[in-house]
Amino acid sequence: STSRPSAAPPPPPEVIAATTSPVIRLISGRAAISRTRNGIADAAAVSRGAHEAGGHVIGLPMTGWTHLQPNEWNAELVWAEDYPRRLGEMLSCRAVVALDGGIGTLSELAVVWSARQTEDGAPILIAVGDRWRRILGELSKDLIANPDDFELVTVVATPAEALEAIRSPKVVTPPGPRG
């Protein structure tokens, strides 16, 4: 964990934490978001953009992923020993933004989406790109879910729209557990 000297001012309200996958943990306000297909490049680009914008960047690396190294733009690291801890960190934030990704990104999106369905105070969930629009569209055809459940995911075309969705989130009432 990297810490700031005590004389340093507190981080600005634009605080973000980037994971080593394309799901980005946003604690508040503002971030730069990259749309590359490589998760490591995503995390580095997001971390660098947030750092250059004056944000305090927190990385969420997994201790078992020894072949991956956290990028240099992280002000601090919150190591997760396993997925429950990693997901717990994500669920504790204000918003989660899913960029292009694979099975890990899909699973993280699904866990946050499920929490958003049943829990007050769950993170805002934003998916960036046409790929997510298509995936969610296909799921809406066959998944046993109501249209209200799909309203819990805000799908946007661009990173700039994701930032706007964080600043001005749509108001939705969690439908609650369905049993």
* Model pLDDT for residues 59-103, shown as the tens digit of each residue: 778 888 888 778 887 777 888 899 898 888 888 877 888 877 788
The length of the chain in residues reads: 179
Extract the tokens encoding 106.
């899909």
Question: DSSP letter at 178?
Answer: -
Handedness of CA 11, 15, 17, 22 (dihedral sign): negative
Residue 8 has pLDDT above 60, yes or no: no
For 105-119, b/e burial (b = at least 16 CB within 10 A) is: beebbebbbebbbee
pLDDT at 70: 80
**Rounded-to-integer distance, Cα 26 and Cα 16, Å:** 5
- Summarised one tens digit per residue, pLDDT across range 114-150 is 999 998 888 889 888 899 999 999 999 999 989 999 9
Q: Are 20 and 62 in contact (CB under 8 A)?
A: yes
Distances in Å between the Cα of 24 and the Cα atoms of 38, 60, 65, 81 are: 13, 9, 18, 18
Distance CA 4, CA 75 (A): 8
**pLDDT digits 0-9 by tens, 11-22:** 333 334 444 344
The pLDDT confidence band at residue 155, using thresholds 50, 70 and 90, is: very high
- Are the beta carbons of 60 and 80 closer than 8 angstroms? yes
